[in-house]
Chain A
Amino acid sequence: MINAMDRFTRCLSLLSGVALGAVAVFIVLEIVLRNLFGISLHFLWELGVFVHMSAVFLGLAWTLRTGGHIRVTLLKSVLPRGAEWLGLGLGFVMSLYVSSALVQLCWSYFKSGRTSGSITDTPLVYPSAIIAFGACLLSLQILMRAVCLLRNQPEELDPST
C-alpha cells in the first residue's frame, strides 16, 4: 500500500514538473509569435495559472514523503518521537480541514457552473477538483506517515529515490 502510494505520488510530482516545463515552452512560443507576428495566445496565462495551482497541490504528498515541507525542528531536536507525533497530529487535522474546504469549493463550482470569465470561459470545477484531490492526497500521505512511525519504518524517503 505504502509503495503503491509512493509510486503514485512520485508520478504526480513528475507530471507537475513536466506540465510546468511545457508551460515555459508555450510562453516562449507566445513571446516569439507576439513579437514577430503580432499573434497573442491569451489563453496561455490562464492555463499557466491553473497548471501552477495544480502543480502545487499534486506535488504536496510526494514533497511530504521526501521531507520537503519546512517545519521548525527545535522541539524535535529535544523530543524526537513526541514532537513528531504532535506535529503529525496537528498537521493531519489541518490537512483534513483544508481538504474539506477545497472539496466544498469544488462542489460549489460544480453546482453553480462558475467559469473563469475569460475568453476561454474555463469551468472552474476542473482546476478546483485537481487541487482538492491534491489536498486529500496530502491528508492520506500524513496517515501513511503515521503508519510508518508505528511500524518503525523511515517516515521520509531520499528525494533522489
Chain B
Amino acid sequence: MPASVILPLILLVLILGSGAWVGLGLVGIGVVSLEIFRSMPVEKLLAQAMWNGLSSPELLALPLFIMMAELLYRSRFIDGLFEALEPWLRYLPGGLLHINIVGCTLFALISGSSAATTSSVGRITINELRDRGYDEQLTYGTLAGAGTLGFLIPPSIVMIIYGVLSQTSVLKLFAAGLVPGLLLALCFMGFVMIMAVLKPEKFGTAEATDENIWRTRFTRLPKLLPFMALMTAILGSMYSGIASPTEAAAVAVVATVGIMAIEGSLSITALSAAAIGTSRTVSMLGLIIAAASFLSVAMGFLGMPQAIERYIESLDLAPLMLILLLIVIYVVLGSFLEGMSIIVITIPIALPLVLNAGYDQVWFGVFLILMVELAQISPPVGMNLFVLQGLARKPLNQIVRAALPFFLIMLSFVILLALVPSLVTWLPNLLLG
C-alpha cells in the first residue's frame, strides 16, 4: 500500500491516541497528510469542506432531536413510563428486569440518543431494582445492552448522520432500524428469561400483594399517554407525509414542551438547562461532523478509499467473509474510538466495499449502527459504560463484565443480519418502495 494511505492511518492512532479532542484531531490528520503528499491550498479546502459538511438541511434534525431528549430528561416522562410498565412486566420470568429492556425500547422510539436512553431509564430503575433484590450485574447489563437501542430504533441521531454522509434516505433508514431493533430487544428479553430459569436467586422476589393486578394495570395505563402522544407526533407526522424527518424533530420539540407544561415540569430553569445541554451536544457532534467531512475529502484526494478497496478486493473474499472481516475491524475500532467517530471515519472506505459485495446501502446503515452500538459498550471507550458508571457509581470493570453477555448477543445478532439481510430491508421496501 502507498505511503499516502499508511501515514494517515498511523496519524489517526497517534493523534487521537495522544488525547487530542476528536473533532480537532480529525482535522489534524487530514491537514498533515495533505500538506505532505499533495500540493494544494489546504486551508481553503478545510474551510469549504467544514462549511459544506454542516450546511445540509437534513442535518437540522440532529439538534432538534437532541433538544427533545434534553427536555424529556428534565420532565417526569420516564417516571410515568416506569409506573405504567411495572404491573405488566412484574410476573414475567425475569420480572422487573424487563423494565430496563422495554423501557429503553419505548424510550428509543422517541429519543435518538443511546446515552439519553440509558441515563433516562437507568436513573429510575437502578435504585428501584436494587431495592427489590435484583442482581446488580444483570441490572447494569440489561441497561447497557438495551440502552444502545436508542441508536437503532427510529428516530436515531446516528442514522441521520449516516444518511447525510452516505446520501441515503433517512426515512428508509428509520424504517429499516425498526424490525432489527425490536428483534434485538426480544433477544435481550429471552436472555433474561433464560437466566431467570437458571438462576432464580438473582431475580429478587415478586412482591406478595393483595391488590387486583389487572385493575392496577389498567388504572396506570393513562400514564403512557405522554409517550403515545409523542410517538404519534413523531412517527405519525413522518410516515403520514405531513412532515419530513427534520420537521418531525421540530414537532417533537414542541410536543415535549407541551407535555412538560401539562405535567407541570415546565420552568425557565428546565428550559435554559435543556438549551445549554443541547448546545453542548450539538457543538461536540457538529465539530466532529465538520471535521469528518474534511477528512473524507482529504482521504479522497489521497486516494485512500480506492487503495484500501483494491487491497481488500485482491483478497477475493466472499461477501459474508468481508462482513466478518469488517465486524472484527469495527470491534477493534470500537474499543478505542467513540461510535460517532467510527461512522464518519469509515464510511468513505467501507461503504463502496460493501456495495460491491452486493449488500444494500440501507442494510449497511443498520449494520454500521449495530457496530456503533457495540462500540458503546466496548471498553475502554464506551459511552454507555461511562453513563452507567456515573449512574451506578461502581468500578468500570464491573460494568464491563455486566455488559459482556449483551455484547455477545448483539454480535451474534449482527451475524444473523448478514445471513438474512431481508430482516433489515423488508420494512423499508414495503413502506417506501
CB distance from A19 to the nearest CB of B (A): 9
The answer to whether B251 and A72 have CB atoms under 8 Å apart is: no
Interface residue from B43, B44, B337 paired with A97 (Cβ < 8 Å): B43
B60 cross-chain contacts in A, Cβ below 8 A? 23, 45, 48-49, 52
A76 cross-chain contacts in B, Cβ below 8 A? 19
* Closest partner residue, chain B, to A102 (CB atom): B47
Told that A24-B67, A90-B18 touch, could you supply 12 new A-B pairs with CB distance under 8 A? A14-B276, A14-B279, A17-B279, A20-B64, A57-B283, A70-B340, A72-B17, A74-B380, A87-B20, A97-B46, A104-B43, A159-B277
Interface residues of B (CB under 8 A from A): 15-25, 27-28, 31, 43-44, 46-48, 50-51, 54-57, 59-60, 62-64, 67, 237, 242-243, 246-247, 249-251, 253-254, 271-284, 286-288, 290, 336-338, 340-341, 380-381
The answer to whether A91 and B272 have CB atoms under 8 Å apart is: no
Mask: chain A, 54-73; 1 = CB below 8 Å from B; 0 = not? 01111110111010111111
Interface hits, A16-46 → B, CB 8 Å:
16-18, 20-21, 23-25, 27-28, 30-31, 35, 45
Say if the beta carbon of A98 comes within 8 Å of chain B.
yes
* Closest partner residue, chain A, to B49 (CB atom): A101
A94 touching B250 in the complex, CB below 8 Å, given contacts A63-B283, A75-B17: no
The answer to whether A48 and B283 have CB atoms under 8 Å apart is: no
A52 touching B59 in the complex, CB below 8 Å, given contacts A16-B282, A28-B251: yes
Main SS at interface, chain A: helix
Interface residue from A69, A74, A77 paired with B284 (Cβ < 8 Å): A69
The answer to whether A56 and B54 have CB atoms under 8 Å apart is: yes
A72 cross-chain contacts in B, Cβ below 8 A? 16-17, 19, 22, 336-338, 381
Chain A CB within 10 A, most for which of B44, B284, B337 = B284
A160 cross-chain contacts in B, Cβ below 8 A? 273
Q: Could you pull out 8 A-B pairs where Cβ atoms are within 8 angstroms?
A: A17-B272, A17-B277, A52-B60, A56-B286, A71-B22, A72-B22, A74-B380, A74-B381
The answer to whether B18 and A49 have CB atoms under 8 Å apart is: no
B43 cross-chain contacts in A, Cβ below 8 A? 97, 100-101, 104
Measured CA separation A74–B115 after assembly (Å): 21
The answer to whether A159 and B254 have CB atoms under 8 Å apart is: no
The answer to whether A24 and B380 have CB atoms under 8 Å apart is: no
Measured CA separation A68–B23 after assembly (Å): 12
B287 cross-chain contacts in A, Cβ below 8 A? 56, 60, 69
Interface residue from B50, B59, B62, B336 paired with A74 (Cβ < 8 Å): B336
A21 touching B54 in the complex, CB below 8 Å, given contacts A28-B250, A70-B21, A86-B19: no
The answer to whether A53 and B336 have CB atoms under 8 Å apart is: no
A131 cross-chain contacts in B, Cβ below 8 A? 51
The answer to whether A49 and B44 have CB atoms under 8 Å apart is: no
The answer to whether A21 and B253 have CB atoms under 8 Å apart is: yes
Chain A CB within 10 A, most for which of B43, B59, B281, B288 = B43
Measured CA separation A13–B286 after assembly (Å): 14
Interface residue from B16, B22, B51, B272 paired with A105 (Cβ < 8 Å): B51
B55 cross-chain contacts in A, Cβ below 8 A? 49, 53
* Closest partner residue, chain A, to B233 (CB atom): A28
Interface residue from A25, A31, A68, A87 paired with B283 (Cβ < 8 Å): A68
B24 cross-chain contacts in A, Cβ below 8 A? 90-91, 94-95, 98
Which 8 pairs between the two chains have the least Cβ-Cβ distance? A17-B275, A56-B286, A87-B19, A59-B283, A27-B250, A105-B47, A59-B279, A24-B253
The answer to whether B47 and A104 have CB atoms under 8 Å apart is: yes
The answer to whether B51 and A45 have CB atoms under 8 Å apart is: no
Interface hits, A118-161 → B, CB 8 Å:
128, 131, 159-160
* Closest partner residue, chain A, to B48 (CB atom): A105
A27 cross-chain contacts in B, Cβ below 8 A? 64, 246-247, 250-251
Measured CA separation A28–B44 after assembly (Å): 37
A100 cross-chain contacts in B, Cβ below 8 A? 43
B46 cross-chain contacts in A, Cβ below 8 A? 97-98, 101
The answer to whether A73 and B54 have CB atoms under 8 Å apart is: no
* Closest partner residue, chain A, to B383 (CB atom): A70
Say if the beta carbon of A83 comes within 8 Å of chain B.
yes
B50 cross-chain contacts in A, Cβ below 8 A? 98, 101-102
A97 touching B283 in the complex, CB below 8 Å, given contacts A31-B247, A55-B63, A73-B381: no
* Closest partner residue, chain A, to B246 (CB atom): A27
The answer to whether B284 and A48 have CB atoms under 8 Å apart is: no
Interface residue from A14, A52, A84 paired with B63 (Cβ < 8 Å): A52
The answer to whether B275 and A18 have CB atoms under 8 Å apart is: yes
B27 cross-chain contacts in A, Cβ below 8 A? 94, 97-98
Interface residue from A20, A28, A68 paired with B254 (Cβ < 8 Å): A28
Interface residue from A56, A70, A75 paired with B18 (Cβ < 8 Å): A75
